[in-house]
Amino acid sequence: MRRLLTILMLCPILCMAQDDVLQQFFQNIEKKTLESDFTVTMSSKATQPTSMTGHIVMHGEQFVAEIMGMEIAYDGITLYTYNEGNDELTLSNPMPDELAEVNPLLFAKALTDLYQAETREENGIYKVTLLPDRQNTGVQEFTLQIRKYDLMPLSASMKEQGMKITTLLFRQPTFTTSAPYFKLEKPGAYINDLR
């Protein structure tokens, strides 16, 4: 009974903290430009971990990222995907779920409407964990670590069914107030226009 009472007393505090931290974080991403190198590590029980490095610049929903010989950019309307290996630039008008697949912060934003959030603060870092309301969803847990004093994202990790874990670690992230050019122009590349 005491445990239930404690949980009921903490629930409004956790919900308020979750709303405040996530809302302030997303507002921060809308106002400022985030730039960072990153490492993505994928692992599961059955395979050895695989890591890839890249670079991202993002402002709100717009972003440009480089990873594994590919460049991906979104200007708010068109998704540009350049594959260096075959010198091909693909242009498309993506659906919101397609954007969430290539941008982890947009993925986190999409999950906030569908998942319960728990926020803890420890050593100057907010740890926001999003958990599904139902157990039959593919994503079992999504965790975002945010530095408290400037709301800088430090890492994101996702645990999927089958114990597959994907972790994104931002390396030396910075905020700037300048907004870069979020289009890709590759003269001479084959253009695959799917719009």
Look up the domain containing 81 and give its range: 2-193
Distance, CA of 154 to CA of 146 (rounded, Å): 6
Neighbours of 32 (CB within 10 A): 20
How many residues does the structure list for the chain?
195
pTM of the model: 0.78
Q: What is the predicted pLDDT for the residue at 107?
A: 76
CB 127 within 8 A of CB 14: no
- Tens place of pLDDT per residue across the chain (195 aa): 323 222 323 333 333 344 588 888 888 888 888 999 999 998 887 678 889 999 999 888 889 999 988 999 999 899 999 999 999 999 999 988 788 777 767 777 777 777 888 899 999 999 999 888 766 567 788 899 999 999 999 998 988 877 788 888 999 899 887 767 888 889 999 999 999
Provide the token pair at 18. 């979750």
* Tokens 């997303």 belong to residue: 26
Neighbours of 66 (CB within 10 A): 17
Beta bridge partners, 158, equal 142, 166
Check which CATH number belongs to the domain holding 129 and give it. 2.50.20.10
- Which amino acid is residue 29, in one-letter code? I
Q: Pairing between strand 190-193 and 125-132?
A: unpaired
Strand, helix or coil for residue 105: helix
CB 38 within 8 A of CB 152: no
Number of domains in the chain: 1
Q: What is the predicted pLDDT for the residue at 14?
A: 36
CB 171 within 8 A of CB 154: no
